[in-house]
């Protein structure tokens, strides 16, 4: 890499990418989320703290509540509520399929979600028979390939997620190469062994919002209206309008995935250039749902490159009910962000099906590390809530008064709905 | 005021609250509230004082009594033109007041007794009270220089920049007779001391006096906006008045439950409840999480029938209650109560988050 002469435009990676494509005639593939130096708004938002007029609260001495419910709530109190997911802390593991990651990694996530009182997500990989015992903490995904979707699967999960899009590859389907489709994966996904598992770019039964409504209600019918239905989209330019339509179409939870969200495999062109930052999408979606008076009708979950509890706190104050994490969860169990997931040769045994490599993940140890991460971040969220003089997470949700922008222009502040530091 | 040897003022102040309800409906003039507040002078700093009283306009009890402050004649004309479109103005007059040395300047203060006009077709669906709320929100957020600070029936709010006892003298509150009184002395920190910013805050028959700071204000404000309430007064207290209106009038939730929304039980306590209570409290938290008031507060909420005192969940501001026969007193300090009720039957310190409620007896 260092052999090339320094050049701001023709960088080493630009030159080597061109050479690679000249040799292969193919698209460039890559893994994980957008690594380009686009603005990261979390780093330009500061938190407030209490001084004098409202005492800060010491989480060691006073209760500090993070319990979170996800699902539809009507705006006026009723005798019953729609089905809800109950989280001990506003964090969940985002969708990662068995296939894109190893069974040992799936097990680690499932066990940690169960221990921590949060949820994990099957992605479009179906639910392996060994994982049914963790199904009451699973969000089962229905994506465009419908792999592994059957009645027992839908009924087993705590919630059902229709995946329309993913932040790392908006508008793009999925591709699990045949060599990764082992016997176990073929059984779980219900496809022949050794065949490519190709998820179409769109759902071929969803070409419009009314089609989405039909699928949402088909899934609710299939599960007796006992489970919340999540609809997940990639954060794109008109997310706010789409989100409003999704809520009106019957989604109980909407999940937005920003362009820093990870993936096992994606064309580099799409990963690096398509979509928008989750910060902006979240602020505009939350405001739009409020303007239309339908914010209570659905919970908002955001994903896309949450690196720390600080990012999570800021997301909640911007209006999120909960976040999805995946890249940081994988880092907790070994990932070093080499972005080679698509090769199937993950040295940490995470994004590989090679039995020799998969052995490198010990689910018991990985589970402990994931539990530690959730615990550590929850402690930090409590500490910050206390510093703000707040003792329940619901008082932070959408509380933009406790955020200030730093070094942001007026348009950015307006979209985020926050004041500049010093104001 | 405490002066040290350098004769500089020592800052030991905070807001002060006082209120009482005669549950038998006996009406008393404003002297009691004035006296109690004067004793707590140290809790305010002269930047705001006010009173709310119920039962003061029995001769107009079917009309909305609007108390309005105007910056100038022009804003008055504009507002009257706006109001007369949808209201019949039964009576309008300058609010009675006298000159007080401590209050140097004041806005134009006007009082109207109003009735909503027979609804035109397009208004027919809107409930009358919702329409009044909408009118108040419109005047306060759109019409420059006009602020409706009282909009209930047979009740009124009186407030100004000044110490409570000066405000009482200014508005001649000794001339008003009510069965519920609440009062407030202000020590503003986060928001400017302006007439509109003084307490009580009111909407329809609701009035609120508040000592504290609402750290969840941003969340509460954005929640209320979904229901058409506009927070325009540069202070956090107004959200309490709007939440009271939303929960208890519009959503018809009982006082106890509404107070559990404002100051919810902790999950650790909900866990230990009976199944029925557990479900009730869980539902309240699921539905109304965004209506929870967080941060230190002691608040008195009143309407035509009730006086409610409630604290934040860990009682970060003082609130004391006392009862003598059919009168319930609630105040920031016990001394304020003893000043006006020498021998109460009972004095107690309400627990964090548990409301103290006095209710007018049915006649």
pLDDT digits (tens, 9 = 90+) for A232-253: 999 999 999 999 999 999 999 9
State how far residue A79 is from chain B, nearest Cα, in angstroms.
8
Q: Rounded CA gap, B193 and B309, in Å?
A: 25
Q: What pLDDT was estimated at residue B309? A: 97
Tell me what the pLDDT averaged over chain A comes to.
95
Q: How confident is the model at residue B2 (pLDDT cuts 50, 70, 90)?
A: very low
Q: What is the pLDDT of residue B14?
A: 64
Lowest mean pLDDT among A140-149, A381-390, B135-144, B259-268: B135-144
- Across A82-86, A172-176, A259-263, least confident range: A172-176
Task: Classify residue B8: in a domain, yes or no.
Answer: no
- In-domain check, residue B129: yes
Q: Which residue of B has its CA nearest to A317?
A: B219
The confidence band for A55, taking pLDDT boundaries of 50, 70 and 90, is confident
Give the count of alpha carbons within 13 A of A32, CB side only.
Answer: 19
Chain A hits for B316, CB-CB cut-off 8 Å, are: 55
Per-residue pLDDT at B51: 97
For A321-346, what is each residue's pLDDT tens digit? 999 999 999 999 999 999 999 999 99
Residue B86 lies in a domain: yes
Counted domains in chain B: 1
CB contact under 8 A, B268 and A63: yes
Residue B4 pLDDT more than 60? Answer: no
Token pair listed for A65:
């509540």
Q: Cβ-count burial of A356 within 10 angstroms (0-12 exposed, 13-18 middle, 19+ buried)?
A: exposed
Of the ranges A176-180, B263-267, B294-298, which one carries the lowest mean pLDDT score? A176-180
Place of tokens 């548990």: B354
Fold of the domain built from segment(s) A28-420? TIM Barrel (3.20.20)
| CATH code at position B36 | 3.60.20.10
| H or E stretch covering B271 | helix B267-271
DSSP string, B334-357: HHHHHHH-SS-SEEE-PPTT--EE
Mean pLDDT of chain B: 91
Is B259 in the active site?
no
Dist. CA A175–CA A187, nearest whole Å: 17
Instruction: Give the pLDDT score at B11.
Output: 42
Say whether pLDDT at B6 is over 60.
no
ipTM: 0.89
Residue-range domain boundaries for chain A: 28-420
Residue B18, pLDDT above cutoff 70: yes
Residue A422 has pLDDT above 60, yes or no: yes
The share of chain B scoring above pLDDT 90, in percent, equals 79
Q: How confident is the model at residue A174 (pLDDT cuts 50, 70, 90)?
A: confident
A412 pLDDT above the threshold of 80: yes
In chain B, whose CA is at the least distance from the CA of A83?
B286
pLDDT per residue over B145-178, tens digit each?
A: 999 999 999 999 999 998 999 999 999 999 999 9
Q: How far is CA A404 from CA A264, A399, B11, B102, B217, in A?
A: 35, 11, 30, 39, 15
Nearest residue of B to residue A64, measured between CA atoms: B266
Q: How confident is the model at residue A268 (pLDDT cuts 50, 70, 90)?
A: very high
pLDDT band at residue B12, thresholds of 50, 70 and 90? very low
Q: Is the peptide bond prior to B306 cis by the omega test (within 30 degrees of 0)?
A: no
B348 touches chain A (CB under 8 A): no
Contact B314 A400 (CB under 8 A): no
- Is residue B234 less than 8 Å (CB to CB) from chain A? no
Angle, CA of B193, B307 and B345, to the nearest 5°: 115
Q: Determine whether the interchain pair A392/B292 forms a contact, defined as Cβ–Cβ distance below 8 Å.
A: yes
pLDDT, greater one: A17 or A75: A17
Supply the pLDDT for residue B189. Answer: 63
Q: State residue A52's pLDDT score.
A: 82
Long-range residue pairs from B142-145, CB within 8 A, at least 24 positions apart, any chain: B143/B75, B143/B78, B143/B79, B143/B82, B144/B71, B144/B75, B144/B78, B145/B70, B145/B71, B145/B72, B145/B74, B145/B75
pLDDT (average), residues A152-181: 94
Q: Please report where in the chains the tokens 């009691």 appear, as a residue.
A: B32
Nearest CB to B218: which of A57, A81, A402? Answer: A402
Task: Work out whether the CA dihedral A236, A239, A245, A249 comes out positive or negative.
Answer: positive
Range of the structural domain that residue B31 is part of: 16-212+301-359
**Residue contact A398–B287, C-beta within 8 A:** no
B301 phi/psi in degrees, rounded to 5: -115, 135
Closest Cβ opposite residue B219 in set A65, A79, A397: A397
Pick from A336-340, B11-15, B190-194, B354-358: least confident: B11-15
Phi, then psi, of A369 in degrees rounded to 5: -65, -35
Least confident of A56-60, A63-67, B92-96: A56-60
Mean pLDDT of A132-159: 97
Task: Determine the residue of chain B that is closest to A286 in CA distance.
Answer: B222
Residue with tokens 């993950």: A346
Q: Using a CB-CB distance cutoff of 8 angstroms, which residues of chain B are in contact with residue A399? A: 216-219, 222
User: How confident is residue B191, by pLDDT bands cut at 50, 70 and 90?
Assistant: low
CB contact under 8 A, A69 and B295: no
């Amino acid at each position: 890499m260092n052999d090339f002469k320094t050049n701001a435009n023709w960088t080493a990676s630009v030159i080597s990418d061109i050479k690679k494509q000249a040799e292969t005639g193919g698209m460039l593939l890559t893994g994980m989320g957008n690594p380009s130096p686009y603005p990261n708004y979390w780093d330009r938002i500061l938190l407030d703290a209490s001084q004098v007029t409202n005492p800060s609260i010491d989480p060691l001495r006073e209760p500090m509540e993070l319990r979170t419910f996800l699902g539809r709530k009507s705006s006026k109190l009723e005798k019953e509520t729609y089905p809800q997911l109950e989280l001990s802390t506003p964090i969940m593991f985002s969708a990662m399929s068995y296939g894109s990651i190893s069974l040992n990694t799936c097990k680690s996530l499932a066990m940690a979600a169960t221990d921590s009182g949060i949820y994990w997500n099957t992605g479009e990989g179906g639910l392996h028979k060994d994982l049914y015992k963790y199904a009451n903490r699973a969000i089962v995904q229905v994506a465009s390939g419908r792999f592994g979707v059957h009645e027992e699967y839908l009924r087993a999960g705590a919630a059902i997620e229709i995946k329309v899009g993913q932040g790392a590859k908006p508008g793009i389907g999925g591709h699990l190469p045949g060599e990764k489709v082992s016997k176990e994966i073929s059984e779980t996904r219900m496809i022949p062994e050794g065949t490519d598992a190709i998820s179409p770019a769109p759902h071929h039964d969803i070409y419009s919002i009314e089609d989405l409504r039909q699928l949402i209600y088909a899934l609710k019918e299939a599960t007796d209206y006992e489970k919340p239905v999540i609809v997940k989209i990639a954060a794109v330019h008109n997310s706010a309008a789409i989100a409003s339509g999704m809520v009106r179409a019957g989604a109980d939870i909407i999940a937005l995935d920003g362009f820093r969200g990870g993936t096992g495999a994606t064309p580099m062109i799409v990963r690096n250039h398509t979509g928008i930052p989750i910060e902006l999408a979240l602020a505009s979606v939350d405001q739009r749902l409020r303007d239309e008076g339908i914010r209570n009708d659905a919970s908002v979950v955001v994903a896309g490159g949450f690196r720390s509890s600080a990012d999570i706190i800021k997301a909640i104050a911007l209006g999120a009910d909960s976040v999805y994490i995946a890249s940081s969860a994988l880092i907790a169990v070994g990932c070093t962000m080499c972005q080679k997931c698509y090769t199937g040769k993950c040295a940490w045994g995470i994004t590989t099906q090679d039995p020799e490599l998969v052995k490198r993940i010990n689910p018991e140890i990985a589970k402990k590390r994931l539990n530690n991460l959730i615990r550590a971040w929850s402690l930090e969220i409590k500490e910050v809530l206390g510093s703000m003089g707040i003792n329940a997470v619901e008082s932070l949700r959408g509380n933009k008064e406790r955020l200030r922008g730093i070094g942001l222009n007026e348009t950015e502040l307006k979209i985020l709905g926050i004041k500049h530091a010093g104001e | 005021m405490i002066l040290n040897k350098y004769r500089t003022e020592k800052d030991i102040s905070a807001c002060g609250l006082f209120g009482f309800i005669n549950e038998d409906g006996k009406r008393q003039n404003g002297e009691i509230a004035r006296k109690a507040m004067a004793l707590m002078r140290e809790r305010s700093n002269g930047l705001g004082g006010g009173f709310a009283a119920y039962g003061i306009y029995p001769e107009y009890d079917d009309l909305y009594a609007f108390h309005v402050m105007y910056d100038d004649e022009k804003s008055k004309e504009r507002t009257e033109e706006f109001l007369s479109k949808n209201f019949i103005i039964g009576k309008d007059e300058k609010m009675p007041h006298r000159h007080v040395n401590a209050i140097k300047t004041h806005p134009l203060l006007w009082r109207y007794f109003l009735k909503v006009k027979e609804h035109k077709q397009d208004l027919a669906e809107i409930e009358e009270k919702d329409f009044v709320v909408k009118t108040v929100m419109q005047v306060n957020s759109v019409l420059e220089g006009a602020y409706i600070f009282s909009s209930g029936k047979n009740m009124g709010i009186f407030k100004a920049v000044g110490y409570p006892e000066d405000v009482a003298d200014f508005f001649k509150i000794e001339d008003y007779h009510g069965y519920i009184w609440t009062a407030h002395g202000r020590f503003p920190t986060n928001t400017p001391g302006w007439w509109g910013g003084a307490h009580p805050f009111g909407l329809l028959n609701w009035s609120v006096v508040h000592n504290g700071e609402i750290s969840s204000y941003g969340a509460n404000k954005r929640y209320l906006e979904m229901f058409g309430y506009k927070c325009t007064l540069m202070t956090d207290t107004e959200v309490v008045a709007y939440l009271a209106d939303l929960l208890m009038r519009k959503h018809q939730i009982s006082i106890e439950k509404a107070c559990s929304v404002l100051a919810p039980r902790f999950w650790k306590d909900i866990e230990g409840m009976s199944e029925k209570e557990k479900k009730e409290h869980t539902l309240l938290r699921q539905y109304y999480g965004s209506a929870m008031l967080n941060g230190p507060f002691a608040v008195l909420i009143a309407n035509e029938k009730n006086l409610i005192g409630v604290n934040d969940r860990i009682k970060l501001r003082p609130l004391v209650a006392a009862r003598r026969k059919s009168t319930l007193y609630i105040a920031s300090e016990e001394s304020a109560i003893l000043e006006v009720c020498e021998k109460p039957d009972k004095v107690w310190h309400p627990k964090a988050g548990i409301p103290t409620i006095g209710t007018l007896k049915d006649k």
